[in-house]
């Protein structure tokens, strides 16, 4: 799909409900776009796993459920809300193509550029995507499930597919709206 670059930037929003996976061709286009990203010393430190086995996808979804359940601040929200949010994270793995993006240890930064390229390419393919982060025991567990060698680690999991929801406007993001444009811009030195 031809699309103006800035339009693609605006259209890229995190999707957490999917109604169908990407086609094999779309997924390959997206992954190829990812691997065109710049990388420190041109190391191209990404290893990308297309996760197709439902059993593995279910394990990833369950681990995200457990991680979210114990990570959300119990002081700031009640147990029902925590459960609801954890379930939404788990359910977001349904009906999507699941891609685990991994990096060589100590070489994570460039892989995030690969992930952003993939997120934008998904838009160009008429699809939506969502990044899922893992850390701690759950991240290690996934690395075992995916059979990562010791000198690699999981960067993030990307869900890609046909959007099944219309995202809120950027201003209504429940995690907080966008900061005002240029409120983050400084000249010469950091200004408070
Ligand atoms: C490093 C990183 C980790 C993220 N992890 C998660 C996650 O685990 N689950 C999730 O639902 N969204 C995750 N997101 C998506 C953010 O919540 C989202 O980008 C942010 O709220 C802004 O919304 P937008 O992407 O629609 O502009 C992550 C995004 C980034 C960049």
Our count of domains for the chain comes to: 1
**The predicted structure's pLDDT at residue 14:** 98
CA-nearest residue, atom 28 of ligand 1: 131
| Domain-embedded: residue 190 | no
pTM of the shown model: 0.96
| Domain-embedded: residue 180 | no
Residue 188 CA to ligand 1 centre (angstroms): 30
Average pLDDT, the chain: 96
Rounded CA-CA distance 128/164 in Å is 9
CATH of the domain at 125: 3.40.109.10
Q: Please work out whether the CB of residue 167 comes within 6 Å of at least one atom of ligand 1.
A: yes
Rounded CA-CA distance 107/152 in Å is 9
**The predicted structure's pLDDT at residue 1:** 64
Ligand 1: atom nearest CA of 64 is 8
* Cβ atoms of 67 and 156 closer than 8 Å: no
> What pLDDT digit, counting tens, does each position of 144-173 carry?
999 999 999 999 999 999 999 999 899 888
Domain containing residue 103: 5-172
| Domain-embedded: residue 137 | yes
| Domain-embedded: residue 185 | no
Ligand 1: atom nearest CA of 15 is 26
Residue 183 CA to ligand 1 centre (angstroms): 21
CA angle 27, 28, 31 (to 5 degrees): 85
Ligand 1: atom nearest CA of 88 is 11
Residue 95 CA to ligand 1 centre (angstroms): 19
185 pLDDT more than 90: yes
**The predicted structure's pLDDT at residue 175:** 86
| Domain-embedded: residue 184 | no
Residue 176 CA to ligand 1 centre (angstroms): 12
| Domain-embedded: residue 131 | yes
| Domain-embedded: residue 50 | yes
* Cβ atoms of 157 and 132 closer than 8 Å: yes
CA-nearest residue, atom 29 of ligand 1: 131
> What pLDDT digit, counting tens, does each position of 40-55 carry?
999 999 999 999 999 9
Alpha helices of 13-53 — where are they, by DSSP H? 24-34
Rounded CA-CA distance 49/113 in Å is 17
| Domain-embedded: residue 99 | yes
* Cβ atoms of 119 and 50 closer than 8 Å: no
> What pLDDT digit, counting tens, does each position of 10-40 carry?
999 999 999 999 999 999 999 999 999 999 9
Q: How many CA atoms lie within 13 A of 166 on its CB side?
A: 1
2 pLDDT more than 80: no
Q: Which of 169, 144, 132, 146 is nearest to 10 (CA)?
A: 169
Residue 186 CA to ligand 1 centre (angstroms): 25
> What pLDDT digit, counting tens, does each position of 77-136 carry?
999 999 999 999 999 999 999 999 999 999 999 999 999 999 999 999 999 999 999 999
* Cβ atoms of 142 and 100 closer than 8 Å: yes
Rounded CA-CA distance 51/7 in Å is 29
């Amino acid at each position: 799909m031809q699309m103006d670059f800035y339009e693609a930037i605006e259209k890229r929003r995190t999707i957490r409900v999917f109604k169908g996976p990407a086609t094999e061709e779309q997924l390959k286009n997206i992954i190829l776009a990812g691997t065109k990203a710049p990388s420190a010393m041109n190391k191209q430190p990404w290893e990308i796993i297309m996760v197709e086995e439902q059993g593995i996808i279910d394990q990833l979804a369950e681990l995200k459920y457990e991680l979210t359940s114990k990570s959300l601040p119990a002081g700031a929200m009640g147990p029902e809300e925590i459960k609801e949010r954890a379930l939404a994270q788990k359910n977001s793995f349904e009906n999507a193509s699941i891609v685990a993006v991994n990096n060589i240890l100590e070489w994570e930064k460039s892989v995030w550029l690969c992930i952003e390229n993939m997120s934008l390419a998904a838009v160009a393919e008429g699809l939506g995507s969502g990044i899922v982060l893992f850390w701690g025991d759950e991240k290690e567990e996934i690395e075992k499930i995916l059979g990562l060698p010791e000198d690699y680690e999981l960067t993030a999991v990307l869900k890609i597919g046909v959007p099944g929801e219309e995202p809120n406007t950027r201003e209504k993001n429940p995690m907080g709206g966008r900061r005002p444009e240029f409120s983050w811009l400084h000249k010469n030195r950091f200004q408070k």
